Structure 1
Amino acid sequence: MGQNSDRRARILLINPNSNEATTTMMVAIARSAAADGFDVVGATATRAPTMIVSADALEVAALEVEEIARLRGGECDGVIVSAFGDPGLTGIKAAMKLTAVGIGESAMLEAAGTGRRFGVATTTPLLKANIDALPDTLGLRASYTGTRFADGDPQQLMRDSAQLRAALAGAVEACIVRDRAEAVIIGGGPLGEAARELQPMFAAPIIAPIPSAVRRIIRLVAA
């Protein structure tokens, strides 16, 4: 680190998906949301799938996320776990003296922060139970309207940004119209660019989880 970077707080963003391109995209989003005086560096898992779409993959990723945090956490002021199921976050908080947040918990806390009812729009139906469990953990069950899933195979959608955006827009609309959600979270780290593109398409707030996590980790580090 150079002289100037020594004066900057460093945030480690861990991508539990084993995809370097996704890490690059997520770090860019995080840096654009970070305040002056904060830098974001990325780390990528190597043992998980390129996109986590099942509970088993989430569990495998959790172990590696904790390993990465142990290996690299000492060089950073805070850690972001950048997959919506927050794999490994509980272990990091329990076992390590690290300030850490997950994009799932951060997005839900922000979405419900003014007493709003909120839903989740995402692409991974096999993670429904994991997503549904998170509001209970955070004490937000009364505010949670449920999760709607984009039509289409998650992997295929990720290969076509226009198709992904259209499919997610349909899920967002279902959250708002059918479930009466007052804010909708785009549930997934790899969906970061789509979340940004969807925000101007709806009057209701669309919550992008990576910026939510950046705002939260900065508050915690600054405190």
Structure 2
Amino acid sequence: MTRLLLVNPNTNTRTAAVMAAIAQRAAPSGVTVEGATVATGAPLLDDPAKLAEGALAVQALLAATDLSPFAGVIVAAFGDPGLAESRAAAPVPLTGIAEAAMAEAAAAGRFVIVTTTGLLKPAIDARVAQYGHAPRHAGTFLTEGAAAALMADPARLEAALEATARHALAETRADAIIIGGGPLAAVAEALRPRFPVPIIEPVPAAVRLAVRRAASR
């Protein structure tokens, strides 16, 4: 049995449970996904300061965890907080959900990112460049309204993400759409059958990449 550890970089345990369940559904037979939530930080990483807190919390959790039973670790926030900093010391491969989603989207062609966290747009676009996908990035599109308010109303969140994704697709004619956010995993799953291009779900994408990395060790 192959075990993966999914680390939730915010303090919302419900979000962690949702992401772990989606990851488990995406995992192939013989792979189990276990969730862990950081002990400190914010319940929603919606600005650069909170993202930085999340990075420190991820590093602390991984440093305090015996990773030897696991074949890989998934960092499940779209800014990939703490991923680069933790890789050098980790005994197993680490995979970020933004890293994995962007790789899958770029493989499909030109892609857009749709997200709720407008204050993180510079950080997200920096990740695109860092991972080498800037030539295929057709833009990052933001929902209207505060991220926390949208997250508190699932129906409104789903409607806002769908409307923004449709606008992004009409404007860019992109080949793929990333729904950018770990806590948005359930909405990404719901939107997938409604669009004529692939909806890239970051959590399942990370599972697929983590499994490949585990198999190549």
TM-score scaled by structure 1?
0.94
1:13 aligns with 2:9: no
Match of residue 28 from structure 1 = 21
Structure 1 residues not aligned, in runs of 5+:
1-7
Name 1:215's counterpart in structure 2.
Answer: 208
Map residues 1-223 of structure 1 onto 2, 5 A cutoff: 8-72=1-65, 73-114=67-108, 116-223=109-216
The one-letter amino acid of 1:97's match is: P
Contact residue 9 and residue 39 of structure 1 kept, 8 A: yes
**Alignment-mate amino acid for residue 70 of structure 1:** A
CA drift of 1:9 comes to 1.1
8 Å Cα contact 2:106/2:133 also seen in 1: yes
Residue deviations 1:17-37 (CA, integer Å, cap 9, x gap): 100100100000000000111
Residue 46 (structure 1) shift = 2.4
SS of 2:128 mapped into structure 1? helix
Residue by residue over 1:133-159, the C-alpha shift from the partner in whole angstroms, topping out at 9 and shown as x without a partner, is 111111111000111111121111111
Measure, in 1, the Cα distance between the counterparts of 2:40 and 2:63.
16
The RMSD of aligned alpha carbons is: 1.0
Query: Once the 2 structures are TM-superposed, how far is the Cα of residue 69 of structure 1 from its aligned partner?
Result: 1.5
Aligned-pair CA distance for 1:174: 2.1
Amino acid at match of 2:178: I
The alignment-based identity, stated in percent, is 42
SS of 1:41 mapped into structure 2 = strand
Give secondary structure in 2 for the equivalent of 1:58: helix
Unpaired runs of 5+ residues, structure 2, are none
Q: What is residue 5 of structure 1 aligned with on the other side?
A: none
Q: Distance in 1 between matches of 2:71 and 2:60?
A: 17
Cα distance in 2, alignment partners of residues 119 and 146 from structure 1: 5
Note the C-alpha offset of 1:67.
1.6
- Taking structure 2 as the reference length, what is the TM-score of the superposition? 0.96
1:97 to partner: Cα distance: 2.5
